[in-house]
Amino acid sequence: MGAKTPGSREGNLEAPTRHPLDWKSSDFYDEEKLNTELERVFDICHGCRRCVSLCHSFPTLFDLVDESESMEVDGVAKEDYGKVVEHCYLCDLCYMTKCPYVPPHDWNVDFPHLMLRAKAVKFKKHGASFRDRLLSSTDSVGKMASIPVVVNFVNTANQTMATRSLLEKTLQVSSKARLPKYHSDTLRKRVGPNTDTSTEVKAGTRTTGRVAIFTTCYGNYNEPDMGADLIAVLKHNGIQVKLVDKEQCCGMPKLELGDLESVAKAKEANTPQLSRLIDEGWDIIAPVPSCVLMFKQELPLMFPEDAELQKIKAAIFDPFEYLHLRNKDGLMNTEFKQSLGKVAYHVACHQRVQNIGMKTRDILQMVPNTEVEAIERCSGHDGTYAVKSEYHDISMKIVRPVVSRVQKAAANYYTSDCPMAGHHIANGLDDGSDTTHPMGLLRKAYGI
């Protein structure tokens, strides 16, 4: 394999590390240097092929190589490199679970961040299509679609085949994909400031017992019940709860588009709010794994010198990670009223790469007479990938093994911390059933 160098060892026994993203340098956007690095990394991937079962980037790359005249990466046309890049949705599973050559290995392979660099170069050069800009503008679309006069029309239209066919023809939004519903009764409207100062605060080793919820665009506009369940469970555990006073999208949809300047603008809007709350003694929780990951990993790597981001990174939690920490300190309410039976639990990619372990599974298994079967496989949804016409069929192929596991489990419930992944699994099942979010299951188990 051409990428090997004398003395390079095979594999990596040390914990992976992540380099900061040098996205402000001119070299980052140099196409010739980008292509040189793409060829180097693609050559390593071609000689390894451990990641072939993950996303569609790797089968695409290996097909390009195998169908080339030389059957090596040097036989692949540079203009075809983009075919590999477009299928990466930055789930990070190759980096975290498969690749033996990530830093500190001297081959220094960070496939997701190389794909992000390629996306950023493409965005800087060509911008994005109207559809991609629309799908990634979650705040704007949510505000418009949740207007009381508009919301019923939007939801009805999204379920009507004639409208869906029109969307497919005009915007290339797949008519077969499940589109999220919108609610005029958003989480913010339901909850308001919602600070319960009457609750006696009991701090734990790593938790303050006071939680400010970063509602997320999806949690506010599309699934407010998910946030309502989270609030109910936290209060049932004696935790003071409020919503973050003001927030914007975490920036993940724009990150996946390669629009790093928009990610930076979202960061500038969110960081002061979250930093102030932490200084006031609040922990931060977001109900969607991708949003937590942005503050735990992607933003700190984009802005490694930002002290406020480092503070947020240490104080933002996945909901079940937070409950697990409370339980370790003997502060979690474990008086459950109702068994959940058997639960098929899809482990969301953006939760897996937070390196917190299967805290959702562990908490749900505390419920008496409850069995949780974990499914560690990507659903292939990625927020926008599965709704795009050109990728929808591929996304359904990726989710098929998950659907098969759910069917074989014959469980009472199937669930995922990523609500979009849960609905994508339901789309694959196509049996009239739907997913129940893990926090909804926990609320049910509490009987509240």
- Tell me, what's the pLDDT at 371? 97
Q: How far is CA 148 from CA 135, 156, 208, 224, in A?
A: 21, 13, 37, 15
**138-145 helix and 148-158 helix, angle to the nearest 10 degrees:** 110
- Report the C-alpha gap between 404 and 381 in whole angstroms: 16
Extract the residue ranges of the chain whose pLDDT is less than 50: 1-7
- Tell me, what's the pLDDT at 17? 86
Which residues share a beta bridge with 240?
210
Q: Which strand (E) or helix (H) includes residue 373?
A: strand 370-375
Which residues share a beta bridge with 242?
212
Q: How far is CA 301 from CA 136, 304, 315, in A?
A: 21, 5, 16
Reduced to 3 states (helix: H, G, I; strand: E, B; else coil), residue 412 is coil
pLDDT digits (tens, 9 = 90+) for 108-153: 999 999 999 999 999 999 999 998 898 888 888 888 888 887 888 8
- Report the C-alpha gap between 144 and 229 in whole angstroms: 25
Which residues share a beta bridge with 371?
342
Supply the DSSP symbol for 159: T
The pair of structure tokens assigned to 378 is: 């990507």
Total number of residues shown for the chain: 448
Are 219 and 226 in contact by the 8 Å Cβ rule? The answer is yes
- Report the C-alpha gap between 17 and 169 in whole angstroms: 44
User: Which single residue is written with the structure tokens 């992540």?
Assistant: 18
pLDDT digits (tens, 9 = 90+) for 149-205: 788 888 888 888 898 899 899 999 999 999 889 999 999 999 876 666 677 889 999
Burial (CB < 10 A; 0-12, 13-18, 19+), residue 413, is buried
- Tell me, what's the pLDDT at 10? 57
- Report the C-alpha gap between 363 and 197 in whole angstroms: 27
Put the strands of the sheet holding 240-243 in their side by side order: 240-243, 210-213, 283-285, 316-317
Are 250 and 282 in contact by the 8 Å Cβ rule? The answer is no
